[in-house]
Amino acid sequence: METVTRLMQEEQTISDPQEGGCWAAADGSVRNNTGTFGWVVGLKNGTILLRGKGRVFGTPINSYRAEGFGLLSMLVYIRRLFHFQTNSNPPQLRMLSDNQALVHELQKIRSRTRPAFPNDSLRPSWDVLQAILTVWSDFPESSLEHVRGHQDRDQERHELDIPAQLNCEADDLASAAYQLESCPESSYPMLGGTRCRLIVNQSAISSHIRNSIMEIRSTQALKQRIQNQMRVTNAVFDEVDWEAHELAGVNCRDVPDVFLTKFLHGILPVGRRLVQYDKERYSGRCPSCDSEVEDQDHLFKCTHEQRTKWRQAMKTEIHGFSNRTDMSEGVKDVLLSGLFSWIEEVEFPGHQFHGSLGALAESQARIGWDQILYGRLSTQWAGAQSISLDRRGIDANQKNSGSVWVSSLIRVIWKQCHAVWIERNEAKHGCDAETSRVAKLAALQIRLKSLYRLKADVLPSDRNKFFYNSVEEHIEREPTVKAQTDWVTVYEPMILRSVKTRALTKRNGLRTIDDMFEVIS
């Protein structure tokens, strides 16, 4: 929707040569991925002739696109005004925008002499740019300039020059335009000159079209992989609040991206995964409780004293989040009971929850209580929280309701998941100089033992060159981290090459002279 306010017989005033042309300022605003624009046309003495405002369409919406919409709306209105109501020449406009990138791009394209190339249509917001340039061609005496925005923050508005005042007025109109009714993305008409557009999930894609197509192409495969990992049906997969999951991932600054990616895809280098790479070189045991198998689930279920403290810290963090965001006791009980029934391997007390809480518990149980750790929460969490706020007479806002609230909860949980990973790594690799030395020695000795198991497979002439009589004698003679590290660094590639050489000669039916005689040391 778009509105224009006419304040006087502007078509006569704008075209009056005695007025010497007009200022025309446009501005845009973006909030929560929705955009608006505002524009004003005024005389050089500051008298405002026209005001306009409206909504912005397209995905993604940014200030670049919003301000472009403002310029386009203004130019189209003035062109139509003169086309239908006057026979005078187009007015001389000095257009103003506080988006320097937009001003530069329009000036650059307008000044070139070559025709547009097909690949130009892949530029961000090309539909708006080409429409502006087309309409602008009807105003040959008009220009576009950059004006610094929000100057009224540092100085009283009436003390500013006329261009700055008009820019502030356009900014006010853009803010007021959020009150206008919107319409579905897919229903707004294509801008003039636009031959086609890409619509995905009822949204018209106006920028990063290549990336959007590639993302669409890969999304289905990624969805299938995650669904297989979760072991759920399509219907249950759709119960997850994926909007909250995405928001949490975008805004999760407390957790390293590398950890989060590996964690969410179940590929953290825990013991069970490492032994798949090399069972001789790595141990699959838990470094904390010495359990025989350490998988990703075991990170949270480990019975070691440090993990018990971590579980208590997780509960404390959830209680703190609950107090900060008006989470109801019922919603909090479902969260803690469900999550820790999985961690502690006890039965979930589902009979205690009814109504919206019961529906919430059933939905999350279908998804999996362990999936809470991975940020895959049911859409019912936001619903149950909203019902609770309404019953308690608490006003809902982004902080305490909706997908933004759920995403904040997810970030709290992910931060604690990263904390347990750090605690696990300290147990495995040490947390100070002494424990780190002991951990390195233990890891080195695992490698030493795996190499000594190859002693019988190397060329006979290499056995006494590379090895002591036993691994125990080796550790006794070279007890330091540096000595063992140096030996592994130097001899490991030589040992592996010797094993390969001997295996090759045997496969070809050849015998080395060392195989025929005993080596005398």
Backbone angles phi, psi at 489, to 5 degrees: -60, -40
For a pLDDT cut of 70, what percent of the chain falls above it? 91
19 neighbors 13 (Cβ within 8 angstroms): yes
Distance CA 126, CA 123 (A): 5
80 neighbors 11 (Cβ within 8 angstroms): no
Backbone angles phi, psi at 348, to 5 degrees: -75, 130
In a domain, 167, yes or no: yes
Amino acid (one-letter) located at 286: C
| Predicted pLDDT at 290 | 83
Distance CA 496, CA 466 (A): 11
Residue 19 in this model has a pLDDT that exceeds 60 = no
Top pLDDT among 192 and 323 is at: 323
In a domain, 303, yes or no: yes
Q: Which of 429, 447, 464 is the last residue of a domain?
A: 429
Residue 12 in this model has a pLDDT that exceeds 80 = no
Distance CA 181, CA 178 (A): 8
Top pLDDT among 296 and 208 is at: 296
Tell which residue, 361, 366, 343, has the closest CA to residue 351: 361
- Exposure of 146 by Cβ count < 10 A (0-12 exposed, 13-18 middle, 19+ buried)? middle
| Predicted pLDDT at 519 | 56
- Is the domain of 296 the same as that of 440? no
Buried-state track 451-469, b at ≥16 Cβ within 10 A, e below 16: bbebbeebbbebbeebbbe
- Is the domain of 224 the same as that of 78? no
Average pLDDT, the chain: 87
- Is the domain of 490 the same as that of 403? no
CATH number at residue 108: 3.30.420.10
Residue 20 in this model has a pLDDT that exceeds 60 = no
Tell which residue, 426, 430, 437, 443, has the closest CA to residue 281: 443
180 neighbors 3 (Cβ within 8 angstroms): yes
In which band, very low, low, confident or very high, does the pLDDT at 39 lie, cut at 50, 70 and 90? Answer: very high
- Is the domain of 477 the same as that of 460? yes
102 neighbors 126 (Cβ within 8 angstroms): no
Tell which residue, 385, 361, 384, 388, has the closest CA to residue 372: 361
Segment holding 204, helix H or strand E: strand 203-205
Amino acid (one-letter) located at 376: R
Distance CA 261, CA 268 (A): 9
- Collapsed DSSP state (helix, strand, coil) of residue 88: coil
Buried-state track 114-131, b at ≥16 Cβ within 10 A, e below 16: eeeeeeeeebbbbbbbbb
Total domains present in the chain: 4
230 neighbors 368 (Cβ within 8 angstroms): yes
In a domain, 201, yes or no: no
**Tokens for 335?**
């969260």
Q: Which of 370, 400, 429 is the last residue of a domain?
A: 429
Backbone angles phi, psi at 265, to 5 degrees: -95, 5
51 neighbors 5 (Cβ within 8 angstroms): yes
In a domain, 380, yes or no: yes
- Is the domain of 135 the same as that of 214? no
Q: Cβ contacts of residue 261 below 8 Å, gap of 6+?
A: none
Helices and strands, number each (H, E), in the chain: 21, 8
For a pLDDT cut of 90, what percent of the chain falls above it? 49
Residue 89 in this model has a pLDDT that exceeds 80 = no
Tell which residue, 339, 279, 286, 346, has the closest CA to residue 314: 339
Top pLDDT among 60 and 104 is at: 104
In which band, very low, low, confident or very high, does the pLDDT at 18 lie, cut at 50, 70 and 90? Answer: very low
Residue 7 in this model has a pLDDT that exceeds 70 = no
Tell me: the pLDDT tens digits for 169-209? 999 999 999 888 776 655 667 888 888 888 877 777 888 88
- Is the domain of 472 the same as that of 355? no
Buried-state track 50-59, b at ≥16 Cβ within 10 A, e below 16: bbbbbbbbbb
Distance CA 239, CA 361 (A): 12
Provide the 10 A C-beta neighbour count for residue 1: 11
Q: Cβ contacts of residue 504 below 8 Å, gap of 6+?
A: none
| Predicted pLDDT at 315 | 95
- Is the domain of 102 the same as that of 113? yes
| Predicted pLDDT at 514 | 62
In a domain, 318, yes or no: yes
- Is the domain of 262 the same as that of 381? yes
Look at the alpha carbons of 461, 466, 467, 468 in this order and tell me if their dihedral is positive or negative: positive
Amino acid (one-letter) located at 228: N
Tell me: the pLDDT tens digits for 418-477? 999 999 999 888 878 888 888 788 878 888 888 898 998 888 888 888 999 898 999 888
| Predicted pLDDT at 301 | 94
Distance CA 173, CA 96 (A): 15
**Tokens for 302?**
């480990």
Least confident stretch, 80-94, 234-248, 355-369, 477-491: 80-94
209 neighbors 198 (Cβ within 8 angstroms): yes
In which band, very low, low, confident or very high, does the pLDDT at 17 lie, cut at 50, 70 and 90? Answer: very low
In a domain, 199, yes or no: no
- Is the domain of 298 the same as that of 401? yes
Top pLDDT among 116 and 231 is at: 231
Tell which residue, 73, 120, 64, has the closest CA to residue 97: 64
Residue 3 in this model has a pLDDT that exceeds 70 = no
Distance from CA of residue 15 to its chain's centroid?
Answer: 50
Distance CA 406, CA 414 (A): 12
DSSP state of 92: -
- Is the domain of 420 the same as that of 401? yes
Q: Which of 429, 464, 497 is the last residue of a domain?
A: 429
**What's the Cα-to-Cα distance from 455 to each of 84, 142, 299, rounded to whole Å?**
96, 86, 36
| Predicted pLDDT at 185 | 57
- Collapsed DSSP state (helix, strand, coil) of residue 445: helix
In a domain, 197, yes or no: no
- Is the domain of 137 the same as that of 110? yes
Give the structural domain span for 43: 2-187
Distance CA 417, CA 259 (A): 10
- Is the domain of 379 the same as that of 475? no
